[in-house]
Structure 1
Amino acid sequence: MKNSFNNRLKEICELKNNRLCIGLDIDPVKSNIKITNSMSNLIDYTKDIIDVTIDLCPIYKMNLAFYECYGSKGYLWLEKVIEHIGNRALTIADGKRGDIGNTAKKYAESLFNYFGFDCVTLSPYMGVDSLEPFISDPSKGAFILCLTSNKSALDIQMKVFKDEPLYLYVAKLCKKINKKNNIGIVVGATKYKNMLQIKKNSFGLNWLIPGIGAQGGDIKSSIEIGNESGVGIINVSRGILYYGNEMKDVLKATEMYTEKIRRYL
């Protein structure tokens, strides 16, 4: 499908010659740049990050928790950020949604129709009917949790199900239901051997790859594996947002990650 999300993602990544996804997970406490909890200050700060990076960055990810913790003001912040990005880049709502059909439908309406996100992250734990409202429109995408980069992922994702680890079953399921070319999977960069196994069973799916930067994942293997059969997006948040003391340092970090990514494309 020409206008499917996966095609849209591929086009903008090729246009900017990059696979970098910047996570706009703003925490004033951690930032080396002096900002306050004033909502107008947070909005302006986020807009500044976008403006200095958008020529290089094809897609931004917003972890909804960093906005929702401010209540109604946080939703206003989110609206302003999406509006500011406009059609200059794609956007991911990182809320890891996953609920029964009617509730999932309302989540999809909120994130796609009201806020205007291009893509969401989803948990597959409640089954395919919890995913369907998010993947019914080919132009809107979903990255489904497959194998995450956190240490306790093995508590569930590594458990054997039908003679294979659960994460591999999820990868195969995502490939099976990708009828509209708008599904991808979340695969942590900290699990190299598992990434190789997933690659063999997820041909055609795009990957969202966290775990680079602060979590220590390898960018070379992530780019080479993640882009072999689809588009592998490298997500970086803290490694860019908190790199230095000025906005020029945000740009410098973005340029550094971009150079590393382009080296292995």
Structure 2
Amino acid sequence: MVKMTFNDTLMNLSKDKESKLCIGLDIDSDRMPNTMDKSLLGLQRYIEDIIDSTSNICLAYKLNMAFYERYGSKGYALMEKIVEYIDNRNLTIADGKRGDIGNTTKKYALSIFESIGFNSITVSPYMGSDSIIPFIQDKSKGVFVLCLTSNTSAKDIQFKKADNKTIYQNIAELCSELNNNNNIGLVVGATNPEFMKNIRDLNNLPWLIPGIGAQGGDLEQSVQISNQNSIGLINVSRAIIFAGDCNLNDVQNAAISFNNQINLMVDNEK
């Protein structure tokens, strides 16, 4: 059977689910009420409850690997269980920001895509195309390359110029050149809406957009610009998974609210 490219799968599933929402399953026990079970088993049950409450609402789940790796091998096992639990209901993103070269990157790809079973991963391009190419060999697996990130110190590097273009513009162009398998996207933060158009004018790659919710990013601008001839996957973490002191009804309602807002903004642009 011919494999569908990751970006085609992303677009098709978005239409089927009527969603461009990605929920970040970045479980932080410090943010959870003391009345909750904060053991690894308790965290697993809460994450699974979130998935059961929201899988029909969102398009994807993003797992920031650091929140699981902090528990060592048991946390890594928990991450594997969560990806298995999601199964084929939604796309999964390993937010590991891997960035190495050669055989090391090949092993990262095997770990993320085969051993754990993620559909996609975030990658740092600082070491150039060598840090991206091993992840894009299987066209059904996706890569979101850090381009214009949502953190305040992004300007330290990403706004510097090379060849009369900013670093983030150079990254966007490099990703266009490498996208022969139609499985590359960009990480573009919602906290820099005034610069988003510079990137969208360069290509129509899908975007993974962090910075909405607790980080105060501009949802409307992010939706309007990212979905011009493409798709912007809006990631929301804390504002959903810790809603109402982790009350599942509030979690579900927060996911519904964000998804409805996004869809309304997309419809208004048509």
Range of TM-score over shorter length = over 0.9
**RMSD over aligned Cα, in angstroms?**
1.2
Task: Say whether residues 1:76 and 2:77 are aligned partners.
Answer: yes
Could you tell me how far apart the structure 1 residues matched to 2:168 and 2:36 are?
Answer: 40
CA contact (8 A) 1:20 1:59 kept: yes
Taking only the aligned residue pairs, the percentage that are identical comes to: 51
Which structure 2 residues correspond to residues 181-220 of structure 1 after superposition, within 5 A?
A: 181-203=182-204, 205-220=205-220
Q: 1:34 and 1:171, CA in 2 relative to 1: closer, same or farther beyond 3 A?
A: farther
CA contact (8 A) 2:3 2:140 kept: no
TM superposition score normalised by structure 1: 0.97
Q: Secondary structure at the match of 1:193?
A: helix
Shift, 1:33, TM fit:
7.7
Shift, 1:32, TM fit:
4.0
CA contact (8 A) 1:244 1:250 kept: yes
Could you tell me how far apart the structure 2 residues matched to 1:81 and 1:252 are?
Answer: 22
Larger helix share, 1 or 2 = 2
Q: 1:34 and 1:228, CA in 2 relative to 1: closer, same or farther beyond 3 A?
A: farther
The farther-off stretch of 109-118 and 27-36 is 27-36
- For structure 2, which runs of at least 5 residues remain unmatched after alignment? none
Task: Say whether residues 1:255 and 2:256 are aligned partners.
Answer: yes
Q: Secondary structure at the match of 1:178?
A: helix
- For structure 1, which runs of at least 5 residues remain unmatched after alignment? none
Aligned residues: 264
TM superposition score normalised by structure 2: 0.95
Q: Write out per-residue CA displacement over residues 210-263 of structure 1, whole angstroms, 9 at most, x where no aligned residue.
A: 111111111111111111121100000011012213111100110110110111
CA contact (8 A) 1:98 1:123 kept: yes
Task: Say whether residues 1:221 and 2:218 are aligned partners.
Answer: no
Number of the residue aligned with 2:116: 115
Q: Secondary structure at the match of 1:45?
A: helix
For 1:7, give the aligned amino acid.
D
Task: Say whether residues 1:240 and 2:240 are aligned partners.
Answer: yes
CA contact (8 A) 1:23 1:61 kept: yes
Q: Secondary structure at the match of 1:29?
A: helix
For 1:222, give the aligned amino acid.
S
Could you tell me how far apart the structure 1 residues matched to 2:191 and 2:231 are?
Answer: 18
Shift, 1:14, TM fit:
0.7
CA contact (8 A) 2:101 2:131 kept: yes
